[in-house]
Amino acid sequence: MRALDILDEVIAGPIKAVDIARKLGMSKTTAHRLAHALKSRDYLSITPDGFALGPKLLQLGALAESQTDLVRLARPILEALSAETGFCSFAGQREGDWSRHLDRVNGRQRLRVATIPGDVRPIAETGLGKALLLDEGEESWRRLYVAARAGHVTEAEIQRWIDRMRDSRRRQIVDHDSELGDGVHSIAAPVRNAKGRIVMAISIAGAAQYYAETDTTRLIAAVARSAADISALAGYAS
């Protein structure tokens, strides 16, 4: 168990043996012995700043990440989100300049959104896609928005879109009115992995008229909470 305690300390960043001993209430000799034993098995490595995570742990972390089916883990949370809000809920991931919808839970609305799992859309076209872009730079936003509009867009429209994206990035929530003329409104949020990277996004979507009859603040809070819950399952610590 002492060895596991040392690993817990190293997770936060490189640490010297003397600091390990002080934090864990053990002798310096014991801290050195255990740390070097972990290094011999590649669980720790030595850096100028002290002991750090070793290649074995990094390999295990990458393996665990690749084997974690986020969509499967997210499904119960999407079901709860749909039940709470009454809207269809979705999960999707980025594929280059596109977003692919991977899962959907139907809501209680009479009017249902046509998007189904497997559908691919230009990433800047949907609320879910925009949530996947919140960490991108503004030049990337510009390029992707122009591409989504097939180049038929004015500079003023681009600037308004970028301004909305800035606000979405600040809030970590996308509140999106469809530009396709289908009357669909969506609220989306990013899902992050243990490295803090956006690896998925979730959203709720439905007819804009239903949103007008609902407390939007409550809906935004529900989507943000659900995204945070899925991020926690992916190893993200906010």
Q: pLDDT per residue over 141-190, tens digit each?
A: 999 999 998 888 999 999 999 999 999 999 999 997 776 656 678 999 99
Chain segment 25-65, per-residue pLDDT in tens: 888 888 889 888 888 888 888 888 888 888 887 777 776 66
Provide the pLDDT for residue 39.
86
Structure tokens at 187: 């609220």
The domain spans of the chain are 2-58, 67-233
- CA distance from start to end of the chain: 26
Could you please state the CATH topology (level 3) that the domain comprising 2-58 is classified under: Arc Repressor Mutant, subunit A (1.10.10)
- 67-233: CATH topology is Beta-Lactamase (3.30.450)
C-alpha 104/C-alpha 205 separation (Å) is: 10
Q: For residue 52, give the DSSP letter.
A: E
Strand duo 198-207 + 184-192: pairing: antiparallel
Torsion sign across C-alpha atoms 7, 8, 12, 18: negative
CB 17 within 8 A of CB 46: no
Maximum average pLDDT range among 54-58, 91-95, 131-135, 176-180: 131-135
Buried b (16+ CB within 10 A) or exposed e, 152-165: eeeeeeeeebeebb
